[in-house]
Amino acid sequence: MRDRLTRDPHRPVYVISVAASIVRAHPRTLRIYEDEGLLCPARTPTNIRLYSEEDIRRLLWIRHLTQNLGVNLAGVRILFELEERMGTRILEALFEATDEPDPAQVEAPAAASPPPISTRPTR
């Protein structure tokens, strides 16, 4: 029973419409983020996109960086690549240093304790 209650943040469970509503975006926006290489959701055998908790957290970071900080999608990609190359959580460190709340904690109350931002390669 306890195993059922613990969530695997890497397990894809949300279809695109649910993921879009969680991050308060249009499903087309999520497709654009995928086309830009910012995330790579899992696919079912019938090619339906499925998003994990980790993907949701990554989407929240993308939304925060673009809407609140004015970073364009190319800049977001560069920030994610820097995190991957450096092996550090520079975005999370930035928010700790500026006393701003973590966007995943503010914008997604339904996602309890989301995992750190993913630096896994896309595509």
- The pLDDT confidence band at residue 84, using thresholds 50, 70 and 90, is confident
93 within some domain: yes
Q: Could you tell me if 47 and 83 are in contact, meaning their C-beta atoms sit under 8 angstroms apart?
A: no
Other residues' Cβ atoms within 10 Å of the Cβ of residue 119: 16
Residue 120 lies in a domain: no
- The whole domain housing 73 covers 2-107
45-67 pLDDT, tens digit per residue, is 999 999 999 999 999 999 999 99
Q: Is residue 115 part of a domain?
A: no
Which CATH number belongs to the domain containing residue 33 in this structure? Answer: 1.10.1660.10
Model confidence band, residue 106 (pLDDT cutoffs 50, 70, 90): low
Q: Which of 119, 112, 121, 123 is nearest to 9 (CA)?
A: 112
**Is-above-0.85 flag for pTM?**
no
